[in-house]
Structure 1
């Protein structure tokens, strides 16, 4: 089989390169003499928090293996080559059923296996309070149950679980989850700064969509946000869709924590790509999608219900709305989450284009719209 060559300016370095791909694997990366008229080139985006996309909801009771396969391919078309399915607060068996579908999809479809390694359980061990709970159903919120996570983990790898550390004996339970091989994120919480610090010391390593899933009004200081921003052991997910966080907050958190400790997530739901309107969804029930892609609960439109954008949309927002550089923004959508993707699900580190790695590339135009997506299973042209 002959090699295929893709030329572009590397988004992380600005250097013009030629990437040779043979049989779905990067064979060589060469420096070119000129960057004239070349598109931008990146590793495919890595999204660590995806609830749904393109009309398919990971949390649907009717989720099928074909749905997961279709979602992998649709996300790839939008530039996302690897992602972590996010299963939100529900009863034990509902979550177990979703995990069984994910396990079957990975076993049956090599393209799915290349894109998904583990799941994220966002809840049910979160705050029961209005506001911090977000769109999660209060009737299914419960205390951290290590044995419950163990049973889920036996069905399909749980990369990380989001918890609120306000629960009694939370540090001991965080430590027990880590002993299972499950990472722990802090999110959807009304915890005190001291409780956040206790969870971090016990082994929590992530912050789920930092700046969201908290009360709208908190103490000036100390508070749970400052505690997480200042903690160098917590890597923070940020929803840069233009609605969850102002651009200045995104920029401030990144400057404070450093690019290597921040990653962009879409937090997308099935309505991503849908026209504005009122919908009923498994995540949040009745929701309203506005023309500017803001998705909110119909019962209280101050509360968001996930996002209706792709990770590529978040990249474009961060590029246009902040003073972060191109390399910084793309690092938070490729290199940093690629490292975490390996930590959460095992296997090789992804997120950078290196010889011997699986081909997972995106060619972008000057406005960072995807021109072509190249995966181990072939190329897709938009």
Structure 2
């Protein structure tokens, strides 16, 4: 509930962390007061930190991986994601040709330089590949013809085009030069995430020692058959230093796997959407540049048209994943929201914008009916953007 008086806004709602009914006064873009309401009002909406998505490939028909990409498209995507409660995100650029990746990085950099809101909302770029496993299964939908071994000079070329905005790099440590490459990335402040990998346990251990800090959508981008032990899934779960990103759209992972991730990783479990550009569109048959004909089903599943058992990516955003976790009894509303906001921000060392006096509001106001989330208002860096 937001009331506006000239340059002052009053927001009433229930704090996501404490369930306390509060009133927030925002003056000139700064939280000037937070007062506890005397009566508990169940009808009030929730107030929570803005969502942070570490892995998103596109939204509402806007693809971050198909050239030509325009600065206007990026600006539109940023503003569309505000409506979904996402205040910070890492647009994800997947395996492609050298020039294509460089071009995409340049467009994102230009978009950030020209639009303050784009700059503030894009916390960094996630480069997913091309230094991944060439094997079928772990490679996923990434084009095999573009998969290569880690190349520092090439990465530096892309980083230059991005003006230093590549903050997450997904790679497989199975390459012989991976350890040295990971160490260089870590020294440059780039978070290396293990994913799309066929690495041995020993290679994963060495990668973590070299500075790898995260796992990319653990449990997906993997062989259909694995040794019972050891294998690269067990090893990543066992590495306490690794944050773990996972997809909870109800299709990518069974509940049992999510339970194991939550119990083993605890406060290092992070919800990601990994949404493709079909997210936010109506159910139907679509033609894509990677998977060919795909179907976005009524229940939210995105699969190949010729085989409903084969996923064609995720078509759901973070709020959907939060809903799934709660509906299945895997965690509470506050825990699920934390996995999609505070934890990814902590992992990437970006400002948390806590709901405290003196801070600029970076939060959302939403309704929760026990099944679905409805975003009502979004604040970004002191400004109500939705």
Question: TM-score higher than 0.5 here?
Answer: yes
2:231 equivalent to 1:217: no
What pairs up with 1:67-146 in 2 under 5 angstroms?
A: 67-146=73-152
Task: Say which SS state the counterpart of residue 368 (structure 2) adopts.
Answer: coil
2:365 equivalent to 1:363: yes
Task: Say which SS state the counterpart of residue 320 (structure 2) adopts.
Answer: helix
Report if the CA contact (8 A) 1:131-1:303 is conserved.
no
User: Which residue of 319, 333, 345 corresponds with 1:338?
Assistant: 345
Instruction: Name the residue aligned to 2:283.
Output: 276
User: Which residue of 4, 7, 11 corresponds with 2:12?
Assistant: 7
Q: Name stretches of at least 5 consecutive residues in structure 2 with no aligned partner.
A: 1-5
2:247 equivalent to 1:239: yes
- Equivalent pairs, count: 375
Instruction: Name the residue aligned to 1:321.
Output: 328
Spell out, residue by residue over 1:280-327, the C-alpha distance to the aligned partner (whole angstroms, 9 max, x if none).
334444433222222234566544332111111111111111331222
> When the two structures are superposed, what TM-score results if normalisation uses the length of structure 1?
0.93
User: Which residue of 18, 21, 28 corresponds with 1:23?
Assistant: 28
Change (3 A) 1:149 1:142: same
Mapped to 2, the partners of 1:75 and 1:53 lie a distance apart of 8
Q: Name stretches of at least 5 consecutive residues in structure 1 with no aligned partner.
A: none
Deviation at 1:181, TM superposition (A): 2.4
2:270 equivalent to 1:263: yes
Mapped to 1, the partners of 2:142 and 2:9 lie a distance apart of 46
Task: Say which SS state the counterpart of residue 369 (structure 1) adopts.
Answer: strand
Report if the CA contact (8 A) 1:164-1:189 is conserved.
yes
Spell out, residue by residue over 1:198-224, the C-alpha distance to the aligned partner (whole angstroms, 9 max, x if none).
111111001001111111221111111
Mapped to 2, the partners of 1:22 and 1:267 lie a distance apart of 36
Mapped to 2, the partners of 1:76 and 1:363 lie a distance apart of 11
Task: Say which SS state the counterpart of residue 365 (structure 1) adopts.
Answer: strand
Report if the CA contact (8 A) 1:57-1:282 is conserved.
no
User: Which residue of 350, 353, 372 corresponds with 2:352?
Assistant: 350
Deviation at 1:38, TM superposition (A): 1.4
> When the two structures are superposed, what TM-score results if normalisation uses the length of structure 2?
0.92
Report if the CA contact (8 A) 2:58-2:277 is conserved.
yes
2:302 equivalent to 1:309: no
Report if the CA contact (8 A) 1:335-1:351 is conserved.
no
Report if the CA contact (8 A) 2:17-2:334 is conserved.
yes
2:56 equivalent to 1:54: no
Report if the CA contact (8 A) 1:46-1:351 is conserved.
no
Q: CA RMSD in A?
A: 1.9
Report if the CA contact (8 A) 1:137-1:284 is conserved.
no
Mapped to 2, the partners of 1:19 and 1:249 lie a distance apart of 39
Say which is worse superposed, 173-182 or 195-204, in terms of deviation: 173-182
Spell out, residue by residue over 1:319-376, the C-alpha distance to the aligned partner (whole angstroms, 9 max, x if none).
11133122211110111112234x3xxxx52263233333222112132321222334
Instruction: Name the residue aligned to 2:72.
Output: 66
Mapped to 1, the partners of 2:300 and 2:223 lie a distance apart of 23
Change (3 A) 1:206 1:8: same
2:207 equivalent to 1:207: no
